[in-house]
Amino acid sequence: MKFDFLGLKTLTVLDVACKLLKPRGIHVDLATLPIDDAESYQMLARGEVVGVFQVESQGMRRALVDMRPDRFEDIIALVALYRPGPMANIPTYCARKHGDEEPEYLHPVLEPILKETFGVIIYQEQVMQIAQVMSGYSLGDADLLRRAMGKKIRAEMDKQRDIFVAGAVKNGVPKGQAETIFELLAKFADYGFNKSHAAAYALVSYHTAYMKAHYPVEFIAASMTLDLNNTDKLSEFRSEAQRLGIKVEPPNINRSGATFEVGEKTIYYALAALKGVGIQAIEQIIEERTKRGLFTSLADFAARVNPRAINKRIIESLAAAGAFDTLEPNRARVFAGADSILAACQRAHQAETSGQNDMFGMAADAPTIMLPQIEPWLPAEKLRREYDAVGFFLSGHPLDDYATVLKRLRVQSWAEFSRAVKTGATAGKVAATVVSRMERRTKTGNKMGIMGLSDPTGHFEAVLFSEGLAQYRDVLEPGAAVLLQLGAELQGEDVRARVLHAEPLDDAAAKTQKGLRIFVRDTKPLDSIAKRLAGPETAGANGAAPKIGSPGIAPRGNGDGEVSLVMMLDLETEVEMKLPGRFKVSPQIAGAIKAVAGVVDVQQI
């Protein structure tokens, strides 16, 4: 008897998912789940297995789609087969399962033993059963045979061959056929998997599939909680949640928990998952919120939180991620005022500990916080700061404003490009935001660059070698939106991309864009619009924006786009005014104008 004791994180994922269901009055007993749930098998057959134990890899997904499992035995077989060597039998198993190929049994006595696996020898137990039934081995002796085959000890193999053939002949099997079957068993025993082990793993796979198929919100939230510090996995789970129609709410100091929590078709992003924010600090903040109610302002937050629980980095990370948006929507002010918030927190704590409260023991008034008066971050900057705090783009993506342009340029998403490479493509055109750049020297002493890139469908890497690095270094700065010509090849299940050509996405967009139409209801946003159109190089003294229509609102750079203002007087009446001059009108500028308070819409023409 052999026991394997494994500490599997997946078991905790299942436990957390079950606990998240209890507030809804749903009690799941994994031990009594039906093993024949059609919905679970249909999901597996579609290859929708993000988070499903043991079967998440691209190769496993392809195998599941080909196999179309509809019974627990199929999952056991796949777990056992998906390894070097026996993997070659997966197509045979699938073909026989679907009736495209007839199962083969070298002797009628083998059929009852191999029928479950369509004639394919997969498990060590099958080798032992064949020896027992065909040649009269005891199960103990059959296990010795299995071990001898696995170790390939020549003398022991010769001895076992004689015993096996003699026993089979005694049971009416022709000697030549018995020898053929022995050699076949020896071949499979070399990489055979014990079914009991595969079945235990398959059961955990099935349980995760069942939970995802029936309770996807709780299952994905639990999976995210167990990968709290792995931003790559969090990004993948967030994308999977979006695909399933589950909303992932951004961090909120008054709603989010330390770990991921759930609502109706909603996952609330965990505060402790933010970079630089420890779970202990967040637990203290949540404990205060639970005891005394929601925070009503930043001053209230500062008055109630123990300064030993927070520091400047934590406040900045919470602000950049938008956790304070319900208290102060201008993230730039909160971020810049982190020192003021921390100082107010310390003053309040000192007042409390020194007994400076009123005669009834009530807390002193919330401290005053003077936040700097600064403009909100532009959309691109807001997303960049969010990326720094979260580890991926959560509330949107810098390329969202380029959607119309990317269609005109016939650009592939990274997901589309990856699928094309897996079907034989070797090059393509992709737009991306540069999130990181690392340079290092190769063995030959030349420099190479490794680019971290992102588009709305995922994060990826691409390399470029010394010549390309020298040519495109200035274009491929972190934060830049770029249009890339990529070459690629498939290495195992991974797409390896290299940069063949790069240019600023705004330059490519300018070739397809004629101008902007900006819709407003009154004149209040005009100065802010002027500032966005003019840019820093044409702004007035002290950064003041020139007035709409003034000579100061000149084109940005060598712009050649037209801009029109559309004043919406009522539901049926609009007045359109074409601005003098021509402007650089990139999607990024359009997005910045759209974010101005009072702007109804911006159309790219």
Cβ 119 vs Cβ 104: under 8 Å: yes
CA distance 437 to 453: 9
pLDDT band at 323 (very low <50, low <70, confident <90, very high): very high
Q: What is the mean pLDDT of residues 90-117?
A: 95
Given a cut of 90, whether residue 45 has pLDDT beyond it is: yes
Residue 84 has what pLDDT?
86
Residue 411 tokens, joined: 């650009």
Residue 355 has what pLDDT?
65
Given a cut of 50, whether residue 541 has pLDDT beyond it is: no
The helix/strand/coil state of 375 is coil
pLDDT band at 491 (very low <50, low <70, confident <90, very high): confident
pLDDT tens per residue across span 238-255: 999 999 999 999 999 999
CATH assignment, 231-390: 1.10.150
Query: Does CATH number 3.40.50.2300 belong to domain 398-508?
Result: no
Residue 568 has what pLDDT?
85
Given a cut of 80, whether residue 536 has pLDDT beyond it is: no
Range name among 16-20, 275-279, 332-336 with the lowest pLDDT average: 275-279
Range name among 110-114, 187-191, 341-345, 421-425 with the lowest pLDDT average: 187-191
Q: What is the mean pLDDT of residues 165-173?
A: 94
Given a cut of 70, whether residue 390 has pLDDT beyond it is: yes
pLDDT band at 291 (very low <50, low <70, confident <90, very high): very high
Given a cut of 50, whether residue 358 has pLDDT beyond it is: no
| CB-CB neighbours of 270 under 10 Å | 22
Residue 547 has what pLDDT?
41
Q: What is the mean pLDDT of residues 116-143?
A: 93
Residue 58 tokens, joined: 């691209």
Residue 534 has what pLDDT?
76
Residue 559 has what pLDDT?
67
Residue 557 has what pLDDT?
42
pLDDT tens per residue across span 58-101: 889 999 999 999 999 999 999 999 998 889 999 999 999 999 99
pLDDT band at 301 (very low <50, low <70, confident <90, very high): very high
The domain segmentation of the chain, as residue ranges, is 9-196, 231-390, 398-508, 513-604
| CB-CB neighbours of 122 under 10 Å | 26
Residue 329 tokens, joined: 């929507």
Percent of the chain exceeding pLDDT 90 equals 66
Distances (CA, A) of 17 to 33, 40, 208, 219, 376: 15, 16, 10, 5, 38
Q: Is the model more confident about 581 or about 116?
A: 116
Chain mean pLDDT for the chain: 89
Residue 597 has what pLDDT?
86
Q: Do domains 231-390 and 398-508 have the same CATH topology?
A: no
Q: What is the mean pLDDT of residues 311-323?
A: 96
Given a cut of 50, whether residue 430 has pLDDT beyond it is: yes
Residue 366 has what pLDDT?
61
Length of the chain: 605
pLDDT band at 367 (very low <50, low <70, confident <90, very high): low
Q: Is the model more confident about 400 or about 148?
A: 400
CA distance 490 to 503: 25
The helix/strand/coil state of 515 is strand
DSSP 116: G
Residue 174 has what pLDDT?
94
Residue 556 has what pLDDT?
45
Residue 97 has what pLDDT?
97
